[in-house]
Structure 1
Amino acid sequence: MTDRIYLTSDGYNRLKEELYVLVHQTRREVLEKIAEARAHGDLSENAEYDAAREEQSHTEARIADLENKLASATILDPKQIKTDKVYILTSVKLKNLDTPDEIIEYTLVSSEEADTDSGKISVRSPVGRALIGKAVGEKVQIVVPKGELHYEILEIFVK
C-alpha cells in the first residue's frame, strides 16, 4: 500500500503532465529505438538494443511511480491550512540565531514538490521535520549533515 502524499494543485498537475508525456511521447520514442536496434540484427551483442531496453525499463518504472503517486495524492487547499503551527504548505520566516541578521523563509511541501532553489523544502528533510508542529516564538535546533542550525520562528503564513 502506498503512503498518502499531499500536493498542491500545481504539484499534482505537474506530475500529471509528466505522466502524460511519458505515456504518450517518451514510451513511443523508446519503442521506436528498440525497433530500430532490432533491425540491426543479432541482439546478443547489440549495445544499442540493450540501451533502448534499459531506457524502456526506466520509463516504465517512472510511469508506475507517477501512477501510484497520483492515485494516492491528496490535493491540499491553501485556504484551509492553519497558521497556528508549522504544517505542510505553510511558509515560515526564521531568524538564524547563529547569524542574527539572517532571516530565512521556507515553504514546507511534500518531497515531490521540494525545490530548494525556490525555498520549498520537504517536510521529510531535517529542517522540515524539525519545524513541523512548532509555533511562532519557538526556537528550534536542527541537526543537518554540516552541523547544527539554530532558528527562532518569527512568522507562519500561507502564500
Structure 2
Amino acid sequence: MDISLPVIYLSVLVALLAFAGFAVIRQVLKTRKLENVLSRLEKKLQNERGTLEEYYELGSIYLDKNLFAQSIVLFQKAIKAADDDSQNLAPVYNAMGFAYFAQEQYDISIRQYKEALKLEPNYVTALNNLAHAYERKKLIAQAVETYEEVLKYEPKNDTAKRRCESLRKRLVTSS
C-alpha cells in the first residue's frame, strides 16, 4: 500500500503532462498551418489579383489576429473580385460588419450586416450580429425584433433566446 499511492500520484502527473504536451503540440501545429496560409496568401496577393475566396480567407485570418482595418480592406477587395457571385458575398459582408463592430463603428457594421441579409435573408449569423449591433446602439426594440427573427429560423439558438429574454425584460421595465 505504501508504494501504490506514490505510483498513483506519479501516474496522474504523467497523464496530466502528456495531455498538456498534446495540447501544446496541437496548438503549435495549428498556428504553424495558419501562418503558412497567411504567408502564402500575402505573397500571392502582393503579386497578382486574387479571387473572392482568397481575399476573404486572408481577411478572416486578419480578423482572428484583431487586425480589423487591414481585414476591411481585404473584404472590400473580395467584393470587387466577385464576378456576379453574390451567393458567396453574404459571408464577406458579415465579416466586414464584424470588423467594423469590433472597432465600435456600429452604424457601419449595421449597414454591412443588412447588406449580407439582402443577399441571404435567412443568414442566422448575420441576424445575430445585427441584433447585437442594435443592442450596442441601445436600439432595444430593433434588437428584440431581430433576435426573434433569428429564433424563427433557429428555434434552439441559445444566444438569441437568452439575449431576447434579457432585452424584453429591459423593455418592460422601461415602459
Q: Report the TM-score, using the length of structure 2 for normalisation.
A: 0.29
More strand by share: 1
More helix by share: 2
